[in-house]
């Protein structure tokens, strides 16, 4: 029997512009499937950032509000407070959430804002040329660390999820990946729980997704997926980091 591809209703009929092997398209579909399955299409408001996913509103068939770089949590806070019945999520990369947007994210989490952050961690600045990001691994080569990241010169990879777990306003934080079918299913489960946490009005939730960037990692797509499993997960272990939802 021929398998039929079914596009989630929450995704528009538009081809993705992402590079071959990029994880954004997978993450988009996972989020859209969860929105459909939870019947949230008319209730969701997403906040895409500048970066590779700046055109996310071309793909998600839900209300979207573009934010300035790093200001996703601040914009989401305003929207959620104005429309408390909405399900509000940010979609941010490591250069956005873990660098220029660190303050906004930490303080939104500390206030226990009823929003959800989808945090795409590909350990590099993807759109602007492959520079070092806060999450770049030690010894990883980028355009600004051509000899590899040095702890003495550039510091250590920032574990934003572990940091946010210390904040009392966070109720659910999980790190997943899109590096295998099994991990993709775990990512979907995590996104569903994060949205449910918001529906239940419990507090701030975040799902960190380890995602490949073959072009800036100078790898073939398959090699990039394997690199997540072999290297990234050593620094950023997968699993639930905080869950005080009681469910």
200-242 residue pLDDT tens = 999 999 999 999 999 999 999 999 999 999 999 999 999 999 9
pLDDT of residue 247: 74
Q: For residues 93 and 79, what is the distance between their CA atoms, to the nearest angstrom? A: 20
- Cβ within 8 Å of residue 94, ≥6 positions away: 119, 120, 121, 122, 123, 124, 133, 134, 135, 160
pTM of the model: 0.95
What number of other Cβ atoms are within 10 A of residue 227's Cβ? 20
pLDDT of residue 2: 54
pLDDT per residue as tens digits for the range 34-86: 999 999 999 999 999 888 888 888 999 999 999 988 899 999 999 999 999 99
CA distances from 53 to 19, 46, 120 (A): 11, 12, 10
Domain 24-243 falls in which CATH fold? Rossmann fold (3.40.50)
pLDDT of residue 135: 96
What is the crossing angle of helices 72-82 and 102-110, to 10°?
A: 40
Q: Name the β-bridge partners of 172.
A: 205, 243
Mean of pLDDT values over 25-29:
95
Q: For residues 35 and 43, what is the distance between their CA atoms, to the nearest angstrom? A: 9
pLDDT of residue 4: 55
pLDDT per residue as tens digits for the range 88-123: 999 999 989 999 999 999 999 999 999 999 999 999
């Amino acid at each position: 029997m021929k398998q039929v591809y079914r596009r989630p209703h929450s995704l528009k009929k538009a081809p993705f512009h992402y590079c071959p092997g990029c994880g954004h398209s997978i993450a988009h579909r996972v989020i859209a499937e969860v929105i459909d399955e939870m019947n949230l299409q008319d209730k969701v408001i997403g906040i895409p950032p500048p970066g590779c996913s700046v055109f996310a509103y071309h793909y998600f068939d839900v209300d979207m509000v573009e934010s300035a770089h790093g200001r996703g949590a601040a914009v989401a806070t305003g929207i959620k407070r104005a429309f408390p019945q909405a399900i509000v999520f940010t979609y941010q990369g490591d250069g956005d959430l873990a660098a220029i947007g660190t303050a906004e994210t930490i303080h939104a989490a500390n206030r226990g804002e009823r929003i959800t952050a989808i945090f795409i961690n590909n350990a590099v600045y993807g759109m602007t040329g492959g520079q070092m990001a806060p999450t770049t691994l030690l010894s990883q080569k980028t355009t600004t660390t051509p000899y590899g990241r040095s702890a003495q010169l550039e510091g250590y990879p920032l574990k934003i999820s572990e940091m946010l777990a210390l904040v009392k306003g966070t109720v659910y934080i999980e790190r997943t990946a899109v590096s295998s079918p099994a991990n993709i299913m775990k990512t979907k489960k995590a996104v569903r729980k994060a949205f449910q946490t918001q529906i239940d009005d419990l507090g701030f939730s975040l799902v960190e997704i380890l995602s490949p960037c073959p072009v800036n990692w100078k790898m073939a797509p398959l090699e990039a997926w394997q690199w997540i499993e072999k290297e990234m997960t050593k620094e950023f272990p997968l699993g639930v980091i905080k869950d005080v939802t009681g469910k």
